[in-house]
């Protein structure tokens, strides 16, 4: 007859072997392919402040003096910002067109955008537009030929200090 401590050790050993078998199976199977052969990725990823919805107003000296000391600013600026509108065309086809609302309770924060597109490797023509103003005015645009190799990740960022869109 098997004693109780031996029976427990045998049970623990079987449980650990089953656990190791499961971990071993999932370390190799099922197979995962990040990208199909001949595919590349375009990532559109950035954040940007839209323009303010109202111009800042200069307060008079009397208005500034009437405010509490911790609020005495010469400029009075509304907080709300315009959403940004972004369009991405690839080889003449629109692959993304969207409006990103500003973050924050008062819609005064930054607008975030992240999209990922899987495309065939090879030569492509990129066209991008971004508007952070009211109406249909295009504030920034990019038009560029790119050649993507299989499994390449092309990142499109936006930095107004560098002139707009950057492609890396």
pLDDT (tens digit per residue) in 39-77: 999 999 988 888 888 888 899 999 999 999 999 999 988
Calculate the alpha carbon distances from 132 to 14, 117, 168 in Å. Answer: 63, 23, 23
pLDDT, tens digit, 9 for 90 and up, residues 134-162: 777 778 899 999 999 999 999 999 988 88
Which of 96, 125, 127 is closest to 113 using CA atoms? Answer: 96
Q: Are strands 153-159 and 164-167 parallel, antiparallel or unpaired?
A: antiparallel
């Amino acid at each position: 007859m098997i004693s109780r401590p031996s029976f427990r050790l045998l049970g623990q050993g079987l449980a650990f072997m089953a656990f190791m078998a499961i971990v071993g199976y999932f370390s190799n199977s099922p197979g995962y392919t990040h990208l199909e052969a001949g595919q590349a990725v375009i990532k559109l990823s950035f954040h940007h402040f839209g323009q303010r919805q109202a111009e800042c107003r200069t307060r008079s000296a009397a208005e500034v003096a009437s405010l509490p000391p911790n609020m005495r600013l010469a400029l009075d600026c509304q907080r709300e910002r315009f959403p940004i509108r972004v369009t991405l065309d690839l080889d003449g086809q629109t692959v993304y067109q969207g409006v990103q609302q500003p973050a924050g309770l008062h819609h005064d924060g930054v607008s975030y955008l992240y999209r990922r597109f899987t495309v065939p490797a090879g030569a492509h023509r990129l066209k991008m537009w971004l508007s952070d103003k009211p109406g249909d005015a295009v504030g920034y645009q990019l038009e560029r030929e790119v050649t993507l190799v299989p499994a390449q990740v092309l990142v499109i960022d936006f930095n107004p200090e560098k002139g707009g869109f950057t492609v890396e």
